[in-house]
Amino acid sequence: MIDARQIRPRPAEPVAARAKRAGMLAALMLAVLLPGCGSRPVRQPAVVVNSNADMALGMRAYQDDNYSEARNYFSRALAQYRSVDERSGELYALIDLADSALGQGDFAAARSYLAATDAITNAQQHADLKARVGLLQAYADLQAGDDQKAVAQLDALLNTPNLPANISKAALFARTQGAFDLKAADANEWMGKLGTALANNPDTLSKARYQRLQALAAQTGGDDHQATQLYAAALDAYRGIYYRPGIAATLEEWAGLNMRQKDWTGARGHLQRALDVRLSMYDRTHSIRDLDNLALVDSALGAQSAAKQAAQLAEYLRNGGNPGQLPALNNQPGN
């Protein structure tokens, strides 16, 4: 399971640069319309001011792991860019929408946003953004379980000449995860490549993500004790920087180890905590998976009423229920 920010770079163009570009566009438009007013102060049209403000607010929400709010802002900006046929702004808004959707596990929406970028990148020849779009497409495939498709996309991306360093690092993380998901024989080889790439003082997010992959490698080698220690270290790192996607993903993966060991009590505790985090992000996809696993765990514990409740809540979300209004599960299941 992959979480969001540490395997995907931030937008290639900072918000300030977008504002400057949009401001230059607005100034040019006014200069054409008002040729005799060289001394008059240039005022940006409201649509430009509003779209830039929404993009900035969306980025702030994204950085706070508030992907639902980020999508609202990016959607508003997208509509405004489209209203003046500002194709570059539209492209950035679509990419940020896809990025935010993936943060919520909404790979279907992400694929839709990314598909909409095709015509723009082809027409405008935004070569600098094509690699990022390709990375996000691969990540959407991984979330959807299309591992073979994701791996093929990532292999092509990693063989791209002059690939930006941040894209290369992100793709290497995703490719290594794909190898483990596929139980490929070369998974440890990819771990080695990733370790080499991270050798020089990795940032906290990268280090924690690498520890989670090391935990998978340890389980493959039959060392569950080491895997447990690695999950504990990764969880501490994520909690130290309040990174909710990483916290939830670590708890879920740790619960998976517990379930394999038939440690149902430990699994339930980790899943409940992960679910609390996922619901705070309005993450429907992962919340459903957590509830499905809670139903299995509660059944194994003999807590049939708790298992039934988890199954009902999962069905509620599958039918379009609001994750923000999901009733709380009982932390101590009963029969």
**pLDDT at residue 191 tops 90:** yes
Tokens found for residue 137 = 């497409």
**Any domain includes 194:** no
**What pLDDT, on the 0 to 100 scale, is given for residue 45?**
72
Whether the CB-CB separation of 244 and 270 falls below 8 Å is answered with no
**Any domain includes 271:** yes
The mean per-residue pLDDT over the stretch 76-98 comes to 94
**pLDDT at residue 199 tops 80:** yes
**What pLDDT, on the 0 to 100 scale, is given for residue 7?**
43
- If asked whether residues 46 and 142 sit together in one domain, one would say yes
The mean per-residue pLDDT over the stretch 138-147 comes to 95
163: alpha, beta or left? (left if phi > 0; alpha if psi -120 to 50): beta
> Using CB atoms within 10 A of its CB, is residue 88 exposed (0-12), middle (13-18) or buried (19+)?
middle
Which stretch of 41-50, 194-203, 209-218 has the lowest confidence by average pLDDT? 41-50
Q: pLDDT confidence of 124, banded at 50, 70, 90?
A: low
- If asked whether residues 144 and 229 sit together in one domain, one would say no
The residue among 212, 215, 220 whose CA lies nearest residue 247 is 212
Which stretch of 92-101, 267-276, 320-329 has the lowest confidence by average pLDDT? 320-329
**Any domain includes 287:** yes
- If asked whether residues 127 and 1 sit together in one domain, one would say yes
The mean per-residue pLDDT over the stretch 178-204 comes to 92
The mean per-residue pLDDT over the stretch 18-34 comes to 39
Domain that holds residue 290: 201-335
- If asked whether residues 25 and 150 sit together in one domain, one would say yes
- 64-73 pLDDT, tens digit each: 999 999 999 9
- If asked whether residues 233 and 317 sit together in one domain, one would say yes
CA atoms within 13 A on the CB side of 213: 30
The mean per-residue pLDDT over the stretch 247-251 comes to 97
**Any domain includes 206:** yes
Which stretch of 38-42, 74-78, 198-202 has the lowest confidence by average pLDDT? 38-42
Last residue of a domain, one of 142, 163, 184: 163
**What pLDDT, on the 0 to 100 scale, is given for residue 246?**
96
Q: How many domains does the structure of the chain reveal? A: 2
The mean per-residue pLDDT over the stretch 265-288 comes to 95
Mean pLDDT of the chain: 86
The mean per-residue pLDDT over the stretch 250-267 comes to 98
- If asked whether residues 143 and 9 sit together in one domain, one would say yes
Whether the CB-CB separation of 80 and 59 falls below 8 Å is answered with no
Whether the CB-CB separation of 287 and 279 falls below 8 Å is answered with yes
**Any domain includes 186:** no
Last residue of a domain, one of 163, 190, 213: 163
Whether the CB-CB separation of 197 and 172 falls below 8 Å is answered with yes
Q: pLDDT confidence of 283, banded at 50, 70, 90?
A: very high
**Any domain includes 173:** no
**What pLDDT, on the 0 to 100 scale, is given for residue 43?**
67
**pLDDT at residue 35 tops 60:** no
**What pLDDT, on the 0 to 100 scale, is given for residue 26?**
40
CATH number at residue 98: 1.25.40.10
- If asked whether residues 8 and 146 sit together in one domain, one would say yes
- If asked whether residues 78 and 226 sit together in one domain, one would say no
- If asked whether residues 209 and 115 sit together in one domain, one would say no
Last residue of a domain, one of 163, 189, 211: 163
- 226-248 pLDDT, tens digit each: 999 999 999 999 999 999 999 99
**Any domain includes 55:** yes
Would the CA dihedral through 66, 72, 76, 78 be positive or negative? positive
CA atoms within 13 A on the CB side of 145: 1
- If asked whether residues 143 and 210 sit together in one domain, one would say no
CA distance 174 to 178: 6
CA distance 236 to 232: 6
- If asked whether residues 109 and 33 sit together in one domain, one would say yes
**Any domain includes 209:** yes
- If asked whether residues 152 and 62 sit together in one domain, one would say yes
**What pLDDT, on the 0 to 100 scale, is given for residue 41?**
58
The mean per-residue pLDDT over the stretch 251-277 comes to 98
